[in-house]
Amino acid sequence: MTIPILSGTPTNMIAVAGSTPATPSNSGAGFSEVLKQSIEAVNGALHEAEASAAGLASGQHANIHETMIALEKANISFRLMTKVQNKVIAAYQDIMRLQV
C-alpha cells in the first residue's frame, strides 16, 4: 500500500511499513483490493514475528534486537489494522443511520 505525498504528482509515493510497493497493475485497485493487500501484509508481519520469536526461544539465533523489532512491527501493524477496522465500522454505522 502506498500513500501519495501532498504534492499531487502520482510519482511521489511513500511506502507504508511492512507493505509491498505499488506496481502499475495495482495502482488503480479498488478499496477491497487495497484492504486485502493490507491484511495480508499485517498477517505476514505477524508470521515473521512469530517465527523470529520461535527461533530465539529454540536457540537457532541469539539476536534479540531483531526479534523485538519484528514483534513491535507486528504489534504496530496489527493495532493500525484494528483502528482502520473500527473506523470502517463506524463509517458503516453512520451511513446506516442516515435517513433517505
Query: Does any domain span residue 63?
Result: yes
Query: Does any domain span residue 38?
Result: yes
Name the average pLDDT for the chain: 81
DSSP state of 22: P
Q: Containing domain of residue 55, as a range?
A: 30-100
**Percent over 70 (pLDDT), the chain:** 72
- Number of domains present in the structure of the chain: 1
CB 2 within 8 A of CB 21: yes
Query: Does any domain span residue 70?
Result: yes
Query: Does any domain span residue 43?
Result: yes
CB 20 within 8 A of CB 41: yes
**Confidence at residue 25, expressed as pLDDT on a 0 to 100 scale:** 55
Query: Does any domain span residue 5?
Result: no
Bigger pLDDT: 2 vs 91? 91
Query: Does any domain span residue 18?
Result: no
The alpha carbon torsion through 75, 76, 78, 83 (nearest 10 deg) reads: 140
Q: How confident is residue 67, by pLDDT bands cut at 50, 70 and 90?
A: very high
Instruction: Convert the pLDDT of each residue in 5-39 to its tens digit.
Output: 444 444 444 445 555 555 555 566 788 899 899 99
pTM: 0.64
Query: Does any domain span residue 42?
Result: yes
Amino acid, res. 39 = I
Joined together, the cell numbers standing for residue 29 give 485497485
Q: How confident is residue 84, by pLDDT bands cut at 50, 70 and 90?
A: very high
15 membership: H or E segment, kind and range: strand 13-15
Query: Does any domain span residue 21?
Result: no
Question: CA-CA distances (angstroms) from residue 38 to 53, 54, 77, 81, 84?
Answer: 23, 24, 9, 8, 11
**Confidence at residue 26, expressed as pLDDT on a 0 to 100 scale:** 53
